């Protein structure tokens, strides 16, 4: 990744919907050069895709929580099975596989506290591989935007 690639990534993280022509103008390069660089970043797996950042509250999912989960046995089979299970739940926005005391962290969004309680009791508590879980309510998200922002180049 050179300075130009970093600039492309930074600008796309800010607004992935801008046209190639606009991106090239902001970077001071030819549109053809910009397009080839974006394609190369995609081929190399630097750019994994584009998505819309949706506000869960707008979808009547105003209550968000982080749920730490411990599973046993700690085997690839159990981990893969739980990843697939959790990733398929409509309440789950993200699944993180962790090291340390917890094996997973689930970011969930539901309508209200009753639905969060139902999620914990009905979806998680009955699973045999889950040995424990705890939830933490999210009151406010301070730093939104694109994940894994690259730092600005030194001036």
Residue-level pLDDT at 96: 98
Give the C-alpha separation, 107 to 137, whole Å.
10
pLDDT digits (tens, 9 = 90+) for 126-142: 999 999 999 999 999 88
Question: DSSP string spanning 48-115?
Answer: --------GGGGT--EEEEEEEEESS-SHHHHHHHHHHHHT-TTEEEEEE--SS-SEEEEEEESSHHH
Query: For residues 133 and 75, is the Cβ–Cβ distance under 8 A?
Result: no
Q: Which whole number is the average pLDDT over 61-68?
A: 97
Residue-level pLDDT at 93: 95
Residue-level pLDDT at 45: 96
pTM attached to this predicted model: 0.76
Q: Which whole number is the average pLDDT over 101-123?
A: 97
Across the chain, mean pLDDT equals 91
Domains of the chain and any CATH numbers? 3-43 (1.10.10.10), 56-138 (3.30.70.920)
pLDDT at 61 over 80: yes
Q: What is the number of alpha carbons within 13 Å of residue 123 lying toward its C-beta?
A: 21
Find the length of the chain. 155
Residue-level pLDDT at 145: 52
Q: Which whole number is the average pLDDT over 17-32?
A: 96
* Residue 71: CB atoms within 10 Å: 21
């Amino acid at each position: 990744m050179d300075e130009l690639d970093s600039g492309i990534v930074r600008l796309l993280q800010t607004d992935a919907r801008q046209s190639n022509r606009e991106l090239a103008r902001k970077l001071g390069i030819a549109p053809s050069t910009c397009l080839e660089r974006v394609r190369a970043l995609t081929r190399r797996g630097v750019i994994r895709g584009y998505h819309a950042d949706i506000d869960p509250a707008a979808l009547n999912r105003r209550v968000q929580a982080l749920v730490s989960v411990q599973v046993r046995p700690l085997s690839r089979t159990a981990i893969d099975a739980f990843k697939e299970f959790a990733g398929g739940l409509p309440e789950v926005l993200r699944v993180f596989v962790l090291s340390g005391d917890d094996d997973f962290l689930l970011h969930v969004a539901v309508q209200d506290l009753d639905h969060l309680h139902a999620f914990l009791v009905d979806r998680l508590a009955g699973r045999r591989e889950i040995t424990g879980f705890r939830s933490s309510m999210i009151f406010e998200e301070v730093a939104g935007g694109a994940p894994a922002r690259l730092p600005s180049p030194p001036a």
